[in-house]
Amino acid sequence: MLSSMLKDYQSKQAVQKENLEKRKNETLQSAIALCDKVSDDLNNQVAIAYCNQKKIDAALKIFQKNYNDFQKMCVEWSSLSNKINDLLKQLGDVTNGARTIKANSAETVRCLENAYKELHPTVESKASTESKQQ
């Protein structure tokens, strides 16, 4: 009886040990599969992040080029605007100068006419009488 209990105990222990070993192997296989899946998923996410980073770098280069081109255009537009402003100022100066010359010329003509009238009073009176007669 004792020996049969011992055999029974040993057989139960062997079955439990076998079940424990089987569960241990299943757990180990599940852990390996989980690690593989996590590792694969992580690698995929890293690959996606790397691709996104390359796209961002390419877009950034394009943006930088466009920014530099825009900045050059702004400088050119500013320069052209300043040139146009200077030309308009010069044109205003020329127009103002022309008005001044015209006013001075008119004043000079009036002065010359007055001087001529003072020097030749008879010519004017003859001219005015002739125009009145006609």
How do the domains of the chain map onto residue ranges? Answer: 2-133
The answer, yes or no, to whether residue 124 has pLDDT greater than 60, is no
Residue 100 pLDDT > 80: yes
Would the pTM of this model clear 0.85, i.e. be above it?
no
Rounded to a whole number, what is the distance in angstroms from the first to the last CA of the chain? Answer: 173
77-98 tens-digit pLDDT: 999 999 999 888 888 888 888 8
Report the number of secondary-structure helices (H) and strands (E) in the chain.
Answer: 2, 0
Contact of 100 with 107, CB cutoff 8 Å: no
Give the pLDDT score at 108.
93
